[in-house]
Amino acid sequence: MILDLFKTKPVIEDSVHNWIADTYAWAITHLNGDFLKNDSQLILPSNKFYPGRVSSVHEMAQQVFSQTVKYAGMENWPLVLVEPHKASTNEIPKLSTSRLLRGASANITIANENTYDSGNLAEVSYGGESITRGNIANKNLIEISYNPAQVNQPQDLVSSFAQILASLLVYHSPQLPPGGKDYIPQTIDLVACFMGFGVIFSNTAFQFKGGCGSCNNRQANRQSTLTELETVYCLAMFCQLKDINKSDVLPHLKGHLKSLFKGAVKQLNQQNSELEASALLSLIK
Protein backbone atom coordinates (compact mmCIF):
# COMPACT_ATOMS: atom_id res chain seq x y z
CA MET A 1 0.00 0.00 0.00
CA ILE A 2 2.88 2.36 0.86
CA LEU A 3 4.46 1.64 -2.49
CA ASP A 4 1.43 3.11 -4.25
CA LEU A 5 2.51 6.52 -2.97
CA PHE A 6 5.52 6.36 -5.27
CA LYS A 7 3.77 4.84 -8.27
CA THR A 8 4.05 7.00 -11.39
CA LYS A 9 0.69 8.29 -12.54
CA PRO A 10 0.12 7.52 -16.24
CA VAL A 11 -0.10 10.46 -18.62
CA ILE A 12 -3.36 9.14 -20.06
CA GLU A 13 -5.79 6.37 -19.15
CA ASP A 14 -5.51 2.93 -20.71
CA SER A 15 -8.75 3.45 -22.65
CA VAL A 16 -7.31 6.54 -24.36
CA HIS A 17 -4.04 4.74 -25.07
CA ASN A 18 -6.01 1.89 -26.65
CA TRP A 19 -8.02 4.26 -28.86
CA ILE A 20 -4.85 6.04 -30.02
CA ALA A 21 -3.13 2.71 -30.77
CA ASP A 22 -6.21 1.38 -32.58
CA THR A 23 -6.52 4.57 -34.62
CA TYR A 24 -2.84 4.45 -35.55
CA ALA A 25 -3.45 0.89 -36.74
CA TRP A 26 -6.44 2.12 -38.76
CA ALA A 27 -4.34 4.94 -40.28
CA ILE A 28 -1.50 2.57 -41.15
CA THR A 29 -3.97 0.24 -42.87
CA HIS A 30 -5.97 2.85 -44.78
CA LEU A 31 -3.73 5.93 -45.12
CA ASN A 32 -0.59 4.43 -46.60
CA GLY A 33 1.46 2.89 -43.84
CA ASP A 34 4.31 2.47 -46.32
CA PHE A 35 4.52 6.26 -46.64
CA LEU A 36 4.77 6.47 -42.85
CA LYS A 37 7.61 3.96 -42.86
CA ASN A 38 9.59 5.23 -45.84
CA ASP A 39 8.83 8.92 -46.24
CA SER A 40 7.22 10.53 -43.19
CA GLN A 41 9.38 12.89 -41.17
CA LEU A 42 8.94 14.59 -37.83
CA ILE A 43 8.17 18.11 -39.05
CA LEU A 44 9.71 20.72 -36.77
CA PRO A 45 9.01 24.46 -36.49
CA SER A 46 12.32 25.53 -37.98
CA ASN A 47 13.82 27.04 -41.09
CA LYS A 48 15.00 23.59 -42.12
CA PHE A 49 11.41 22.59 -42.84
CA TYR A 50 9.96 25.97 -43.74
CA PRO A 51 12.81 28.01 -45.24
CA GLY A 52 12.85 31.14 -47.33
CA ARG A 53 11.78 34.78 -47.32
CA VAL A 54 8.57 36.20 -48.74
CA SER A 55 7.29 39.64 -49.59
CA SER A 56 3.54 39.23 -48.98
CA VAL A 57 1.02 37.44 -46.79
CA HIS A 58 -0.17 35.25 -49.65
CA GLU A 59 3.39 34.32 -50.65
CA MET A 60 4.05 33.13 -47.12
CA ALA A 61 0.79 31.18 -47.00
CA GLN A 62 1.59 29.61 -50.38
CA GLN A 63 5.09 28.63 -49.31
CA VAL A 64 3.87 27.09 -46.04
CA PHE A 65 0.99 25.34 -47.82
CA SER A 66 3.21 23.82 -50.52
CA GLN A 67 5.69 22.49 -47.97
CA THR A 68 2.93 21.09 -45.77
CA VAL A 69 1.30 19.31 -48.72
CA LYS A 70 4.66 17.78 -49.64
CA TYR A 71 5.37 16.54 -46.11
CA ALA A 72 1.85 15.07 -45.92
CA GLY A 73 2.47 13.11 -49.14
CA MET A 74 -0.48 14.76 -50.89
CA GLU A 75 1.25 16.47 -53.82
CA ASN A 76 -0.85 14.39 -56.24
CA TRP A 77 -4.10 15.71 -54.81
CA PRO A 78 -5.88 18.38 -56.93
CA LEU A 79 -5.34 21.17 -54.39
CA VAL A 80 -4.87 24.88 -54.89
CA LEU A 81 -4.43 27.67 -52.36
CA VAL A 82 -6.52 30.78 -52.91
CA GLU A 83 -6.58 34.12 -51.16
CA PRO A 84 -9.46 34.44 -48.66
CA HIS A 85 -11.31 37.11 -50.64
CA LYS A 86 -11.24 34.89 -53.73
CA ALA A 87 -12.61 31.76 -52.07
CA SER A 88 -16.12 30.88 -53.17
CA THR A 89 -18.37 28.08 -51.89
CA ASN A 90 -18.04 25.52 -49.10
CA GLU A 91 -18.73 22.37 -51.08
CA ILE A 92 -16.34 19.42 -51.07
CA PRO A 93 -16.06 17.70 -54.45
CA LYS A 94 -16.42 13.96 -54.74
CA LEU A 95 -13.04 12.47 -55.52
CA SER A 96 -11.98 9.42 -57.43
CA THR A 97 -9.17 7.83 -55.41
CA SER A 98 -6.80 4.94 -55.84
CA ARG A 99 -6.00 2.52 -53.02
CA LEU A 100 -3.05 4.74 -52.19
CA LEU A 101 -4.04 8.14 -50.81
CA ARG A 102 -0.51 9.48 -50.27
CA GLY A 103 2.80 9.40 -52.05
CA ALA A 104 4.03 9.44 -55.62
CA SER A 105 1.71 6.59 -56.68
CA ALA A 106 -1.48 8.21 -55.40
CA ASN A 107 -4.02 8.95 -58.11
CA ILE A 108 -6.60 11.48 -56.91
CA THR A 109 -8.98 13.23 -59.31
CA ILE A 110 -12.32 15.02 -59.22
CA ALA A 111 -14.90 12.33 -60.00
CA ASN A 112 -17.83 14.47 -61.18
CA GLU A 113 -19.98 17.40 -60.13
CA ASN A 114 -21.61 15.54 -57.23
CA THR A 115 -20.46 16.87 -53.89
CA TYR A 116 -20.41 15.75 -50.30
CA ASP A 117 -22.33 17.59 -47.61
CA SER A 118 -19.35 19.45 -46.17
CA GLY A 119 -21.04 20.77 -43.03
CA ASN A 120 -19.35 18.42 -40.58
CA LEU A 121 -16.01 18.61 -42.37
CA ALA A 122 -16.02 22.39 -42.27
CA GLU A 123 -16.92 22.43 -38.59
CA VAL A 124 -14.31 20.02 -37.33
CA SER A 125 -11.52 21.00 -39.67
CA TYR A 126 -11.64 24.71 -40.00
CA GLY A 127 -13.05 26.15 -36.80
CA GLY A 128 -15.81 28.17 -38.44
CA GLU A 129 -14.39 31.46 -39.61
CA SER A 130 -10.69 30.65 -39.47
CA ILE A 131 -10.34 28.60 -42.67
CA THR A 132 -12.30 28.64 -45.91
CA ARG A 133 -13.61 25.32 -47.22
CA GLY A 134 -12.84 23.50 -50.44
CA ASN A 135 -15.10 24.08 -53.44
CA ILE A 136 -15.81 23.16 -57.06
CA ALA A 137 -15.61 26.57 -58.69
CA ASN A 138 -12.78 25.04 -60.67
CA LYS A 139 -13.99 21.52 -61.35
CA ASN A 140 -10.44 20.19 -61.55
CA LEU A 141 -9.19 21.56 -58.22
CA ILE A 142 -10.10 21.71 -54.56
CA GLU A 143 -9.68 25.26 -53.33
CA ILE A 144 -8.24 25.77 -49.85
CA SER A 145 -7.83 29.14 -48.20
CA TYR A 146 -6.37 30.43 -44.95
CA ASN A 147 -6.68 32.91 -42.12
CA PRO A 148 -4.36 35.89 -42.78
CA ALA A 149 -4.08 36.49 -39.02
CA GLN A 150 -2.09 33.25 -38.74
CA VAL A 151 0.80 34.64 -40.76
CA ASN A 152 2.17 36.12 -37.55
CA GLN A 153 1.66 32.77 -35.77
CA PRO A 154 3.24 30.38 -38.30
CA GLN A 155 2.82 27.23 -36.20
CA ASP A 156 -0.93 27.84 -36.20
CA LEU A 157 -0.82 28.32 -39.97
CA VAL A 158 1.05 25.04 -40.47
CA SER A 159 -1.22 23.14 -38.09
CA SER A 160 -4.36 24.53 -39.74
CA PHE A 161 -3.17 23.39 -43.17
CA ALA A 162 -2.21 20.00 -41.71
CA GLN A 163 -5.66 19.75 -40.16
CA ILE A 164 -7.34 20.43 -43.50
CA LEU A 165 -5.21 17.80 -45.24
CA ALA A 166 -5.90 15.29 -42.46
CA SER A 167 -9.62 16.03 -42.87
CA LEU A 168 -9.48 15.18 -46.56
CA LEU A 169 -7.68 11.92 -45.84
CA VAL A 170 -10.09 10.87 -43.09
CA TYR A 171 -13.18 11.67 -45.14
CA HIS A 172 -11.87 9.82 -48.19
CA SER A 173 -10.62 6.75 -46.33
CA PRO A 174 -12.49 3.53 -47.24
CA GLN A 175 -13.47 2.79 -43.63
CA LEU A 176 -14.57 4.81 -40.61
CA PRO A 177 -11.99 5.15 -37.83
CA PRO A 178 -12.29 3.41 -34.44
CA GLY A 179 -15.26 4.88 -32.61
CA GLY A 180 -17.07 5.62 -35.86
CA LYS A 181 -18.44 8.94 -37.05
CA ASP A 182 -18.51 10.49 -33.58
CA TYR A 183 -14.72 10.20 -33.37
CA ILE A 184 -13.93 11.81 -36.72
CA PRO A 185 -12.91 15.17 -35.18
CA GLN A 186 -10.44 13.48 -32.82
CA THR A 187 -9.21 11.22 -35.62
CA ILE A 188 -8.40 14.24 -37.78
CA ASP A 189 -6.07 15.64 -35.11
CA LEU A 190 -4.47 12.20 -34.63
CA VAL A 191 -3.93 11.82 -38.39
CA ALA A 192 -2.14 15.17 -38.46
CA CYS A 193 0.26 13.73 -35.86
CA PHE A 194 0.44 10.49 -37.87
CA MET A 195 1.57 12.57 -40.87
CA GLY A 196 4.45 13.99 -38.83
CA PHE A 197 3.06 17.30 -37.54
CA GLY A 198 2.82 16.22 -33.89
CA VAL A 199 5.31 18.76 -32.48
CA ILE A 200 3.55 21.69 -34.14
CA PHE A 201 0.15 20.25 -33.27
CA SER A 202 1.17 19.86 -29.61
CA ASN A 203 2.44 23.44 -29.51
CA THR A 204 -0.89 24.74 -30.86
CA ALA A 205 -3.28 22.42 -29.01
CA PHE A 206 -3.89 25.00 -26.29
CA GLN A 207 -3.72 28.76 -26.53
CA PHE A 208 -3.56 31.01 -23.48
CA LYS A 209 -6.55 33.34 -23.63
CA GLY A 210 -5.37 36.02 -21.21
CA GLY A 211 -2.72 38.68 -21.42
CA CYS A 212 -2.50 41.76 -23.58
CA GLY A 213 -3.73 41.89 -27.13
CA SER A 214 -0.25 41.55 -28.58
CA CYS A 215 0.43 38.32 -26.65
CA ASN A 216 -2.19 36.22 -28.37
CA ASN A 217 -4.51 36.61 -31.33
CA ARG A 218 -7.52 34.41 -30.69
CA GLN A 219 -8.63 34.65 -34.29
CA ALA A 220 -5.35 33.04 -35.34
CA ASN A 221 -5.68 30.03 -33.04
CA ARG A 222 -6.58 26.70 -34.55
CA GLN A 223 -9.46 24.60 -33.25
CA SER A 224 -8.32 21.54 -31.28
CA THR A 225 -10.33 18.40 -30.62
CA LEU A 226 -7.67 16.38 -28.81
CA THR A 227 -6.37 17.71 -25.51
CA GLU A 228 -2.74 18.72 -25.04
CA LEU A 229 -2.08 15.44 -23.21
CA GLU A 230 -3.66 13.36 -25.95
CA THR A 231 -1.85 15.26 -28.70
CA VAL A 232 1.51 14.86 -26.98
CA TYR A 233 0.80 11.15 -26.58
CA CYS A 234 0.04 10.86 -30.31
CA LEU A 235 3.37 12.58 -30.95
CA ALA A 236 5.15 10.14 -28.65
CA MET A 237 3.61 7.16 -30.46
CA PHE A 238 4.72 8.57 -33.83
CA CYS A 239 8.25 8.95 -32.47
CA GLN A 240 8.21 5.37 -31.21
CA LEU A 241 7.08 4.05 -34.60
CA LYS A 242 9.75 6.11 -36.38
CA ASP A 243 12.44 5.40 -33.76
CA ILE A 244 12.94 9.12 -33.08
CA ASN A 245 14.87 9.98 -29.94
CA LYS A 246 13.18 12.32 -27.48
CA SER A 247 16.29 14.55 -27.55
CA ASP A 248 15.33 15.45 -31.13
CA VAL A 249 11.86 16.51 -29.99
CA LEU A 250 12.21 18.29 -26.65
CA PRO A 251 14.02 21.46 -27.86
CA HIS A 252 11.08 22.23 -30.18
CA LEU A 253 8.24 21.78 -27.67
CA LYS A 254 6.79 24.56 -25.54
CA GLY A 255 8.25 24.52 -22.04
CA HIS A 256 5.24 23.10 -20.21
CA LEU A 257 4.92 20.26 -22.77
CA LYS A 258 8.41 18.85 -22.24
CA SER A 259 7.52 16.97 -19.04
CA LEU A 260 4.30 15.71 -20.61
CA PHE A 261 6.25 14.32 -23.55
CA LYS A 262 8.78 12.64 -21.26
CA GLY A 263 5.89 11.13 -19.32
CA ALA A 264 4.24 9.91 -22.53
CA VAL A 265 7.47 8.26 -23.68
CA LYS A 266 7.89 6.64 -20.27
CA GLN A 267 4.31 5.36 -20.27
CA LEU A 268 4.72 3.88 -23.74
CA ASN A 269 7.89 2.12 -22.64
CA GLN A 270 6.23 0.77 -19.51
CA GLN A 271 3.20 -0.55 -21.40
CA ASN A 272 5.18 -3.04 -23.44
CA SER A 273 4.58 -0.76 -26.39
CA GLU A 274 7.64 -1.98 -28.26
CA LEU A 275 5.63 -5.11 -29.01
CA GLU A 276 2.63 -2.96 -29.85
CA ALA A 277 4.73 -0.78 -32.16
CA SER A 278 6.08 -3.89 -33.86
CA ALA A 279 2.51 -5.10 -34.36
CA LEU A 280 1.50 -1.74 -35.83
CA LEU A 281 4.43 -1.70 -38.23
CA SER A 282 3.60 -5.26 -39.30
CA LEU A 283 0.41 -3.85 -40.84
CA ILE A 284 2.50 -2.03 -43.44
CA LYS A 285 2.41 -3.98 -46.68
pLDDT by residue, tens only, the chain of 285 residues: 455 555 567 778 989 999 999 999 999 999 988 999 999 999 999 999 998 777 889 999 999 999 999 999 999 999 999 998 887 655 666 777 778 899 988 888 877 654 444 444 433 333 333 333 344 345 578 889 999 888 888 999 999 999 999 999 998 898 999 999 999 999 999 999 999 999 999 999 975 444 444 445 455 556 678 999 999 999 999 999 999 999 999 999 999 999 999 999 999 988 766 667 777 777 775
**CA of residue 89 relative to chain centroid, distance:** 24
Q: Mapping DSSP to helix (H, G, I), strand (E, B) and coil, where does residue 114 land?
A: strand
Contact by Cβ (8 Å): 140, 110: yes
pLDDT of residue 88: 67
Global pTM reads 0.84
Amino acid at 166: A
Q: Give the integer Cα–Cα distance in Å for 143 and 118.
A: 13
